[in-house]
């Protein structure tokens, strides 16, 4: 009887502790977001988004950093997405489990774990110096493309895997070649999943700082070409906060950053849930 | 038609090799830049040297290696219990319909940029620590606390996967033998998913060691051997992040050499985690 009671007592205590742990995790996350939004949202007027920073960011808005962020992200996606989706197609449709596919998976898993500062060092010596691209949108975008590759590959692979085998068989039985089957049957079906991966990569590109500051620089001048140096929103936020230039502007930029990342993630989650409902 | 298919296959193979290609490029360039300095001053003076004074040509990173591990271990001390609690909460304690609302919140935790975490640590945790526990506030403790939250998504998603792939008969069997729900979770499910959970912790550890920007903002960046969690510290990553902007010559090489050490630690952890999750799959 006593043993029984302690068993249930232990269970009760353990479950209470777990509830506390899980709820406080969420509470802290909400606290982080709210504290920055509370101070930052009042700064977010339309002209904050549409004016470029003045006096190192003490005055004005964040327009040029938004342009920089968008340009960098676009380069990253344009380069990273085809490579990632191509890899996923190869792994799922063009090869079986083999030495090569295991090697590719190992390489991708390792790449996913490489810290962003290492990507920054690599991008700096390879793109900025060796390929003589300087601190630029191109150097930063290509570095980011390498960083997002594992995310694009794994999400694209998951969604290609989810296409029923019978779809492919129908296409083959109608005389379709492998490539026709891939482009007209597999890819259209896997598109929402692929798009989710791309959205997550956009989120990651927007938030990335360490790799970007070493490869794209921190210039506040409006970019004119792919070879212009830029400052992204995250880098701007970091510099404002660390160098104590303007706390008000730092809060504003932080709040804008959080809003952008929130919107992109909500869109990605919505796509995933729609996709799952569609499949089942 | 046949020829075209063959060409497409080859092109896709080339594309698929890109991640390995990038990984080799990264390895090559980091080593090419950093190795000369390690050879010049000697691996022992570099790895075990206590003094980092670039202007005098002194490049000892031992205090940073030790600080990196202090910060990481501190993060794991809080991150592992919290991560496990969230994992068990998601997979066992709440109905799946509510878990699907909870899970995006965990994903969001992963999506928050690291500079935001760093900023929050700076404006909230640092003053709290300074006022209530003493010291400069900018400290290993503040860094560990922030990191423990940053590694949660890694720990939670991977250990939840490990729990999800267990055969349902494990749970049913334990319950049928009269075990309580908690005994089933703690003595059957968690041990059975052990290798996946350990892999998740190792990956979380890799993420903690590799974090840069948030740490620059809250660690205080003093180069010295840590003796308490309330002191400032400089880790391997923050050393690179702070000084890369203006370093040149052998100073820059020394930062790349710091990168080599970091890269080596991360690759060891990655390989270990991949090996562990492979074992789970078989």
**Predicted pLDDT at A2:** 60
Residue B199 lies in a domain: yes
Domain range for A73: 46-279
Query: Nearest by CB to B237, which of A113, A115, A238?
Result: A115
The reply to whether ipTM tops 0.90 is yes
For residues A50 and A33, state if they share a domain: no
For residues A65 and A9, state if they share a domain: no
Distance in Å, alpha carbon of A47 to nearest chain B alpha carbon: 23
Determine contact: A66 vs chain B, CB below 8 A. no
* Token representation of residue A190: 């896997």
> What ranges in A114-230 are assigned the alpha helix state H?
116-123, 137-161, 165-173, 178-181, 187-207, 210-215
**Predicted pLDDT at B1:** 67
Per-residue pLDDT of chain A (280 residues; tens, 9 = 90+): 566 778 888 889 999 999 999 999 999 999 999 999 999 999 998 888 888 888 888 888 899 999 999 999 999 999 999 999 999 999 998 888 888 999 999 999 999 999 999 999 999 999 999 999 999 999 999 999 999 999 999 999 989 998 888 988 899 899 888 888 998 999 988 988 899 899 999 999 999 999 999 999 888 888 888 999 999 999 999 999 988 888 899 999 999 999 999 999 988 888 877 776 665 5
For residues A117 and A207, state if they share a domain: yes
Q: Which of A170, A175, A178 is nearest to A89 (CA)?
A: A178
CATH number for A171: 1.10.3720.10
Determine contact: A139 vs chain B, CB below 8 A. no
The CA distance from A221 to A208, in Å, is 20
Determine contact: B178 vs chain A, CB below 8 A. no
Determine contact: B80 vs chain A, CB below 8 A. no
For residues A21 and A72, state if they share a domain: no
The CA distance from B260 to B254, in Å, is 10
Q: Give the contacts of A267 (CB within 8 A, at least 6 positions apart).
A: A199
The CA distance from A33 to B116, in Å, is 9
For residues A106 and A38, state if they share a domain: no
In a 3-state reduction of DSSP, which class is residue B77?
A: helix
The CA distance from B89 to A25, in Å, is 12
Residue from B29, B116, B187, B261 whose CB has the most chain A CBs within 10 Å, to mutate: B116
For residues A188 and A144, state if they share a domain: yes
> Which chain B residue has the Cα nearest residue A260?
B112
Determine contact: B124 vs chain A, CB below 8 A. yes
**Predicted pLDDT at A1:** 52
**Predicted pLDDT at A143:** 97
Give the containing element (helix H, strand E) for A49: helix A46-50
Overall pTM surpassing 0.80 (yes/no): yes
- Tell if the CB–CB gap between B266 and A87 is shorter than 8 Å: no
The CA distance from B192 to B172, in Å, is 14
- Tell if the CB–CB gap between A210 and B241 is shorter than 8 Å: yes
- Tell if the CB–CB gap between B116 and A21 is shorter than 8 Å: no
For residues A30 and A154, state if they share a domain: no
Distance in Å, alpha carbon of B55 to nearest chain A alpha carbon: 21
Query: Nearest by CB to B29, which of A87, A126, A269?
Result: A126
Domain range for B123: 30-281
Determine contact: A208 vs chain B, CB below 8 A. yes
Residue B140 lies in a domain: yes
Distance in Å, alpha carbon of B35 to nearest chain A alpha carbon: 14
- Reading phi first (left if > 0) and then psi (alpha if -120 to 50, else beta), residue A229 is in beta
CATH number for B43: 1.10.3720.10
- Tell if the CB–CB gap between A234 and B115 is shorter than 8 Å: yes
Which one of A28, A43, A58 terminates a domain? A43
For residues A247 and A261, state if they share a domain: yes
For residues A187 and A153, state if they share a domain: yes
For residues A163 and A31, state if they share a domain: no
B60-72: b (≥16 Cβ within 10 Å) or e:
bbbbbbbbbbbbb
Distance in Å, alpha carbon of B50 to nearest chain A alpha carbon: 23
The CA distance from A228 to B230, in Å, is 43
For residues A117 and A29, state if they share a domain: no
For residues A93 and A12, state if they share a domain: no
> What are phi and psi for residue B220, nearest 5 degrees?
85, -20
Q: Which of B215, B195, B227 is nearest to B144 (CA)?
A: B215
Give the containing element (helix H, strand E) for B155: helix B152-164
Contacts 24+ apart (CB under 8 A), B248-255: B250/B37, B250/B40, B250/B57, B250/B59, B251/B54, B252/B33, B253/B33, B253/B34, B253/B36, B253/B37, B254/B34, B254/B37, B254/B46, B254/B54, B254/B59, B255/A121
Residue B8 lies in a domain: no
Overall domain count for chain B = 1
Does residue A104 contact residue B18 with C-beta atoms inside 8 Å?
no
Per-residue pLDDT of chain B (282 residues; tens, 9 = 90+): 688 888 999 999 999 999 999 999 999 999 999 999 999 999 999 999 999 999 888 999 999 999 999 999 999 999 999 999 999 999 999 888 888 888 888 888 889 999 999 999 999 999 999 999 988 989 999 999 999 999 999 999 999 999 988 999 999 999 999 899 999 999 999 999 999 999 999 999 999 999 999 999 999 888 889 988 999 999 999 999 999 988 888 999 999 999 999 999 999 999 999 888 876 554
Q: Which of A58, A198, A216, A187 is nearest to A127 (CA)?
A: A216
Residue B14 lies in a domain: no
């Amino acid at each position: 009887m006593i043993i029984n009671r302690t068993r249930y007592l232990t269970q009760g205590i353990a479950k209470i502790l777990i509830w506390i742990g899980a709820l406080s995790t969420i509470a802290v996350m909400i606290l982080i977001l709210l504290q920055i939004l509370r101070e930052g949202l009042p700064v977010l007027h339309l002209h904050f988004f549409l004016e470029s920073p003045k006096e190192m960011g003490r005055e004005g808005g964040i327009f040029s950093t938004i342009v920089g962020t968008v340009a960098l992200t676009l380069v990253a996606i344009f380069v990273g997405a085809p490579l990632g989706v191509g890899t996923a197609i190869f792994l799922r449709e063009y090869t079986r489990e083999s030495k090569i596919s295991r090697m590719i998976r190992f390489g991708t898993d390792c790449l996913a774990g490489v810290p962003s500062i290492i990507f920054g060092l690599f991008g700096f010596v390879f793109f900025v110096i060796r390929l003589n691209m300087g601190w630029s949108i191109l150097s930063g975008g290509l570095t980011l493309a390498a960083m997002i590759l594992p995310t694009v590959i794994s999400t694209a692979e998951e969604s290609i895997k989810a296409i029923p085998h019978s779809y492919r068989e129908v296409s083959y039985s109608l005389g379709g070649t492998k490539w026709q089957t891939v482009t007209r049957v597999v890819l259209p079906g896997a598109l929402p999943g692929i798009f989710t991966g791309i959205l997550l990569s956009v989120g990651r590109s927007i938030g990335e700082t360490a790799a970007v500051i070493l490869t794209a620089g921190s210039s506040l001048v409006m970019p004119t070409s792919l070879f212009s140096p830029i400052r992204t929103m995250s880098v701007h936020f970091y510099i404002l906060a660390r160098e104590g230039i303007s706390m008000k502007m730092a809060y504003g930029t932080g709040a804008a950053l959080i809003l952008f990342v929130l919107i992109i993630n909500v869109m990605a989650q919505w796509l995933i849930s729609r996709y799952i409902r569609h499949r089942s | 038609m046949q020829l075209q298919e063959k060409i497409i296959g080859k092109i896709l193979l080339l594309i698929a090799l890109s991640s390995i290609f990038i990984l080799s490029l990264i390895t090559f360039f980091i080593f090419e830049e950093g190795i000369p300095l390690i050879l010049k001053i000697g691996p022992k003076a570099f790895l075990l040297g206590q003094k980092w004074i670039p202007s005098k040509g002194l490049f000892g990173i031992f205090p940073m290696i030790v600080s990196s591990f202090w910060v990481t271990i501190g993060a794991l001390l809080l991150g592992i219990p919290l991560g496990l609690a969230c994992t068990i909460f998601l997979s066992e304690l709440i109905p799946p319909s509510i878990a699907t609302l909870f899970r995006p919140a965990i994903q969001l935790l992963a999506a928050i940029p690291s500079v935001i975490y760093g900023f929050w640590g700076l404006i909230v945790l640092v003053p709290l620590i300074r006022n209530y526990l003493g010291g400069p506030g900018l400290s290993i403790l503040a860094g560990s606390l922030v990191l423990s939250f940053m590694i949660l998504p890694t720990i939670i998603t991977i250990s939840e996967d490990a729990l999800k792939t267990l055969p349902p008969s494990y749970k049913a069997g334990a319950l049928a033998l009269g075990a309580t729900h908690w005994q089933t979770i703690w003595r059957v499910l968690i041990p059975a998913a052990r290798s996946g959970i350990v892999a998740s912790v190792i990956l979380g550890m890799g993420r903690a060691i590799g974090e840069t920007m948030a740490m620059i903002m809250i660690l205080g960046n003093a180069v010295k051997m840590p003796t308490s969690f309330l002191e400032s510290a400089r880790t391997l990553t923050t050393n690179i992040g702070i000084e890369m902007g203006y370093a040149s010559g052998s100073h820059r090489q020394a930062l790349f050499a710091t990168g080599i050490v970091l890269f080596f630690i991360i690759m060891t952890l990655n390989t270990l985690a991949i090996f562990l999750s492979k074992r789970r799959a078989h």
